[in-house]
A and B are shown apart, each in its own frame.
Chain A
Amino acid sequence: MLTMLWRQTATGLRVLVALTVLCGIVYPLVVFGVAQLPGLSGPAGGSIIHAANGTAVGSSLIGVDPVPADPAADPYFHTRPSASSSGPLGPTDTTTSGGSNKSGFNQDLLDTVNQRRELIAKREGVNPALVPPDAVTASASGLDPDISPAYAALQVARVARVTGLSEDTVRGLVAQSSSGRVLGFLGEPTVNVTTLNLAVQEARH
Chain B
Amino acid sequence: MNDTLAGILQIVAMVGLLALVYKPLGDYMARIFTTTKHWRVEKALYKLIRVDPDAEQRWTTYATGVLGFSFVGVVLLYLLQRLQAFLPMAFGHGAVTPSVAFNTAISFVTNTNWQSYVPESTLGNTVQMAGLTVQNVVSATVGIAVAIALIRGFVRSSTDRLGNFWVDLTRGVIRLMLPISFVAAIVLIATGVVMSFHSGVTITGVDGMQHTLPLAPAGSQESIKELGTNGGGIFNANSAHPFENPNALSNFIEIFLELVIPVCLTRTFGTMVRSTRQGTVLAAVMGVIWTAFIAVAWFSEAHPNGPAAQAAGAALEGKEVRFGIPSSILFGVSTTGTSTGAVNSLHDSYTGGAGGITILNMLLGEVAPGGTGTGLYGILVIAIIGVFLAGLMVGRTPEYLGKKLGRVQVTAASISILTMPALVLIGAGLAIALPSTLGALGNSGEHGFSEVLYAYASAANNNGSAFGGLTVTSDFFQVTLGLAMLFGRFVPILAVLALAGSLAKQKRVEAGAGTLPTDGTMFGVLVGGTLILVAALTFFPALALGPIAEALS
Contact = CB atoms under 8 A, between A and B. Distances in A.
A73 to B, nearest CB: 13
A72 interface: no
- Please provide the 6 A-B residue pairs with the shortest distance between their CB atoms, ordered closest to farther: A104-B306, A187-B248, A9-B68, A140-B240, A104-B309, A101-B469
Given A12-B68, A23-B134, A185-B10, A141 B240 contact: yes
A25 B129 CA distance: 7
B213 A142 contact: no
B513 interface: no
A56 B201 contact: yes
A139 B318 contact: yes
Interface residues of A, number: 98
Contact of A35 (B45, B166, B189, B204): B189
Interface residues on B, range: 35 or more
Contacts of B169: 15
A167 B181 CA distance: 47
Contacts of B443: 101-103, 105-106
Interface stretch (B322-330, B397-405, B474-482, B536-544): B322-330
A122 B314 CA distance: 21
A153 interface: no
B308 A133 contact: no
Given A8-B65, A141-B241, A187-B327, 6 more contacts: A46-B196, A62-B242, A94-B212, A96-B120, A97-B237, A144-B322
B304 interface: yes
24 contacts: A12-B65, A12-B71, A14-B50, A22-B173, A24-B130, A24-B133, A27-B133, A31-B219, A62-B242, A64-B209, A76-B206, A94-B214, A97-B120, A97-B240, A99-B468, A100-B318, A100-B349, A102-B308, A102-B349, A134-B316, A141-B237, A144-B242, A146-B321, A186-B252
Contacts, number: 369
A183 B76 CA distance: 44
Contact of B72 (A16, A109, A183): A16
Nearest to B190: A40
B308 A104 contact: yes
B327 A15 contact: no
Contacts of B343: 140
Contact of A58 (B61, B65, B203, B252): B203
A146 B314 contact: no
B346 to A, nearest CB: 5
Interface of B: 1, 5-6, 9-10, 13, 45, 48-51, 60-61, 64-65, 67-73, 76, 118, 120-121, 129-131, 133-134, 137-138, 166, 169-170, 173-174, 178, 181-182, 185-186, 189-197, 201-207, 209, 211-215, 217, 219-221, 235-237, 240-243, 246-249, 251-252, 304-324, 327, 343-346, 348-351, 355, 442-447, 467-469, 550, 553
A52 interface: no
